[in-house]
Structure 1
Amino acid sequence: MHTSLLLDSRFDAAAHEHRIRALLKLTAPPRTSDFRVPLNLSIVLDRSGSMAGEKLAAARDAATLLVRRLHPEDVVSVVTYDDEVQTVAPPASGRQQRQLAHKIRSIRSGGTTNLSGGWSRGRDLVAVKQRSDGMNRVLLLTDGLANVGIQDAVSLASICRQAREAGISTTTIGFGADFDEHMLRAMADAGGGHAYYIENPDQAAGIFEEEIEGLLSAVAANVKLTIRSHGAARVSRILDSYPQTPASDALIFDLGDVYAREAKTALVEFSVPAAAQAGETLIAEFTVVADLIHPGTEVERREISIPVRMKLTEEGTKDPEIEREMLLAETAHIREQALADQARGDHASSHRRLASFAQHLRGVASPGDRELSEEIADLQRMATLCAEGPLPSMDLKYIYQRAYDRTRSKGASIGRYSRSRADAGDLAARIEYRSGDATNPSGPGRKIVAHVTDVAGQWGTGVSRSISRRWSEPERVYQTWFCGDAPVPIPFELGELQFVRVEPELYVATMVAKDVPSHPGAPPQVRYDALDKSLSLLKDQALMWGASVHMPR
């Protein structure tokens, strides 16, 4: 894990003090192809009556896609809860979970919401198979309020904190308009995980994918940042919203986990009286403590100390990266203030606040900065809605989630649910017809080579044979899957598919969409209902990965 520190300053003549901004960045290197963190997960799904229909269907589909990503060594359990708690699948891995996808799809809605009971069962199941060299986590999804069992946020956060101290973390996912976002955020903060918001059912799969991608590439866990001011310097402003632990002589922030290719940032402003010593001044010290994850071994505790030193002058300095990060952080604080206005019933103030800052950003944002341009469009959109009166619950939750993600180094997640980007119109899917080898796809980014096989264990000819000439692994995995020995929780049946990674950014998708021959010597027949199901699963995975799909015409 790499650390870097950027500094700039300005002199506040009115206050007769220097203002120093410090941007700390923690960056994990790209993972190697064999780097993979073992997982021990419990998926805890709300199946109360309010989840009936499209919401529960989306949750089932997302959970099914998640288990497809698991490897033989991963452990997964599934819990459902309404007024009662049910273990759908006990903790197991590999061959023991072959029917897991079927079990998830069979989940049906029920009664009230015993959230604490569902979470507690998930925690207990993770504890059964807890491992010291991997990630142990409960993924809790709900669309409502806890109305059975433990119901207050403080008590729920307390049991999540106790579980984290025992090595089990918690991620919460709120669905729809009726859940308590403050309670779920408190549980996630105490539990060392993330808090997500699903506004539309079609966002569910992307959230599960984001969570699993992060866990699989975890480089460090339990990352904590301690800030100790020196001399006359003091912390005047914290621009992030990481959970804070009280301390008498320092500020301690819980940054959670760090994933490969991810940057965790902390933006802090210090004030130093102008009478401070001349020359380079020691302003503060940052100390980062983290548990580095090395798959197959125990975690390694690492501590890094970074002095914050700067020569203070009345002329000051300005760093463009810090300035941009400050603008992005301010968008979150403006949203939080607008939420406070809405809570007081002052809708006009929330409108003016959002519209005014959108106008400010237009004047200072660099041309072509897509992220700030999206922020401007979204702030203006929400300002317009505020002018119309009280915001409905879904809008309030949307604003709350954007502020949360922006101040937790999760700005990249905003694109997944941004209304402004959705309003710009989805890019039409493009079909390009090309000549050449389908097993050697061109173009940038992640790619999937897709082909069709039959349910009788016949790999096939054509592109399937070409795939085997280039890579042996897809056919080997297919035959193992057909024989019932594949250590993956996916049944071998019509309409299913399996992904095999053959190169760092290239996968082969094997779709089972041909039936057994009608008589000896006859070719297998394509079952278009099965092909439709396989293509639907392929589409969902490609959208989550941002991948292009390549297949024969």
Structure 2
Amino acid sequence: MTQPTIVFSPLQAGVPAAGGALEVLVRVQAPDRPTDLATAHLPKRLALVVDRSGSMNGQPLQEALRCVTHIASHLTSQDALALVVYDDKVDTLLPLQPMRSTDAVAKAVAGVEAGGMTNLHGGWLAGAQQLEGGTEQTVSRVILLSDGQANHGETDLSAIEAQCREWLGRGVSTTTVGLGRGFNEDLMIGMARAGGGQNYYGETAADLYDSFDEELALLQAMYLRQVGLKLLPAAGVIVEMISPAQQLADGSWRMTDLAWGAEAWVAVRLHLSPGMAGQTRDLLAASVSGTALDGTQLQAHAPVLQLPVLDAAAMQALPRNETAYTRLEELAFAKASEHLRQLAKEGDRQATQQALDVLEKRFGHHPWLSAKIKQLRQLADEDSEMMAKEVRYSMMRMSRRLVSKEEMAYEGDETHVSESVMPSFMRKKVSEGKGKKREV
């Protein structure tokens, strides 16, 4: 199988003789999907885990069950599905079985009623256990839907995240879906990050249709899983990770699962000792490893990043790399938004608007960020609680998103851009918590 490619994109194509810092994108690119795999169906093993606790009574539970039937309707006979529901008790309504008909799913959800407390961990664990023993030629993923706070069974975030990481190592990943208004976004996002999956949210099933279509499209396009990036700085160079990447025990950095034709990336800051102008300097080497869908272990190495050492005047005259600049701005926006999220959670509307003014002044030149700020202003006026969630999910999307290897300039909300132009999991949306089913 064709190996991935590592591309370095420094913000400027030179380093200062006086020393200092240089930001660099490290881009891991997948090959385009081979023509013989263009229509091949990747078997998926999904465990849908649904919160039926008391807070889900009424419309929230009905929305969650609509999500279940929506996902089931998009599976084929080559896929397998399990259905688990939980409150303070956990019930497996459908053990893992081939998806031959949606009738069994419809029958199973028809009798689901809201119950007691929220044993979120217990429900998730039961879903993971349904997927145990899968082969490397399939994708096994828990999709957890919840509207609430874990208040029964294991509730410690670090302990739950540790188990998500453990199951990821066993081939079972976790995607989380926050439904409604009261869910704990930190827990849901933390589980998805540790479990190697995606994180979505929405108030209704209709809000989430686009997200589910995105999730299934990503699973179908999967090229490389459990991707690890190793960075080896040259002498006189210290590497600072800017992206919110998780460092593993072997020193490598966990990256997003990689789809055919897509690019995963991180941004780093190289802290440089002084050098001699006129020389060419070694800066950074990198290697990447991961598991292909046929179980093959793939590894690729990048040529050492080398740049000329320049005096201050020559550095000043260098143009910037626009791809690196744009993504660094997105990361800066995500970090700057944390204060905005806290103000929104506190319900301080005046301070929230002032913080948005600051962000507008700083990032208004960036089309996607400007559109995000406009949408956040509207949410700040209407619903500060949901604004806080939107900020959190937008922060994660910007920091960890897959992109096209030939990413286009942003010209507006890309939710409904044709799939032939851009796969749904690469799109830039104005709102992470809204979307509707695309016409097919």
The alignment's TM-score, normalised by the length of structure 1, stands at: 0.67
**Cα distance, 1:257–1:142 mapped onto 2, change above 3 Å:** same
Deviation at 1:51, TM superposition (A): 1.3
Pairing 1:301–2:301 present: no
Aligned to 1:244: 247
Deviation at 1:257, TM superposition (A): 1.1
Distance in 2 of aligned mates of 1:182 and 1:301: 32
Pairing 1:41–2:41 present: no
Q: Which has the larger radius of gyration?
A: 1
Root-mean-square deviation (CA, aligned residues, Å) is 3.3
Deviation at 1:274, TM superposition (A): 2.4
Give the one of 209, 212, 217 matched to 1:213: 217
Pairing 1:8–2:11 present: yes
**Worse overlay, 76-85 or 306-315:** 306-315
Which letter does structure 2 place at the counterpart of 1:56?
L
**Cα distance, 1:323–1:149 mapped onto 2, change above 3 Å:** same
Show CA shifts across 1:238-291 (max 9, x none). Answer: 3321222256xx5x2211311234321212221212236852211111221111
Deviation at 1:310, TM superposition (A): 1.3
Contact 2:87 2:115 in 1 (8 A): yes
Deviation at 1:196, TM superposition (A): 1.9
Distance in 1 of aligned mates of 2:269 and 2:299: 23
Deviation at 1:52, TM superposition (A): 2.1
Deviation at 1:197, TM superposition (A): 2.0
Aligned to 1:432: none
Contact 2:15 2:308 in 1 (8 A): no
Structure 1 residues without counterparts, runs of 5 or longer: 413-419, 428-443, 448-504, 506-541, 548-553
Once the two structures are superposed, the pairs formed by residues 420-459 of structure 1 within 5 Å of their partners are 445=418
Distance in 2 of aligned mates of 1:95 and 1:333: 45
Distance in 1 of aligned mates of 2:260 and 2:107: 32
Pairing 1:268–2:278 present: no
Show CA shifts across 1:114-168 (max 9, x none). Answer: 11211121111111x5222111111111111111111111111122122122211
Distance in 2 of aligned mates of 1:399 and 1:352: 15
Distance in 2 of aligned mates of 1:61 and 1:219: 30
Show CA shifts across 1:386-433 (max 9, x none). Answer: xx9xx8432211111110111011589xxxxxxx969xxx99xxxxxx
Matched residues, percent identical?
22
Distance in 2 of aligned mates of 1:254 and 1:277: 36
Which letter does structure 2 place at the counterpart of 1:293?
L
Which letter does structure 1 place at the counterpart of 2:94?
A
Which letter does structure 1 place at the counterpart of 2:291?
D
Contact 2:20 2:274 in 1 (8 A): yes
Deviation at 1:378, TM superposition (A): 3.7
**Cα distance, 1:274–1:325 mapped onto 2, change above 3 Å:** same
Deviation at 1:327, TM superposition (A): 1.8
Contact 1:7 1:20 in 2 (8 A): yes
> 1 or 2 for the larger relative contact order (CA 8 Å, sep ≥6)?
2
Which letter does structure 2 place at the counterpart of 1:312?
V
Distance in 2 of aligned mates of 1:227 and 1:361: 30
Deviation at 1:200, TM superposition (A): 4.1
Aligned to 1:192: 196
Distance in 1 of aligned mates of 2:322 and 2:75: 42
Aligned to 1:311: 308
Which letter does structure 2 place at the counterpart of 1:272?
L
Contact 2:262 2:403 in 1 (8 A): no
Distance in 1 of aligned mates of 2:101 and 2:11: 56
Structure 2 residues without counterparts, runs of 5 or longer: 405-411, 424-434
Deviation at 1:12, TM superposition (A): 9.5
Pairing 1:143–2:147 present: yes
Which letter does structure 1 place at the counterpart of 2:297?
R
The alignment's TM-score, normalised by the length of structure 2, stands at: 0.82
Distance in 2 of aligned mates of 1:282 and 1:11: 11
**Cα distance, 1:5–1:351 mapped onto 2, change above 3 Å:** same
The number of residue pairs the alignment matches comes to: 408
**Cα distance, 1:381–1:329 mapped onto 2, change above 3 Å:** farther
Aligned to 1:133: 137
Pairing 1:233–2:243 present: no
Pairing 1:101–2:106 present: yes
Aligned to 1:114: 119
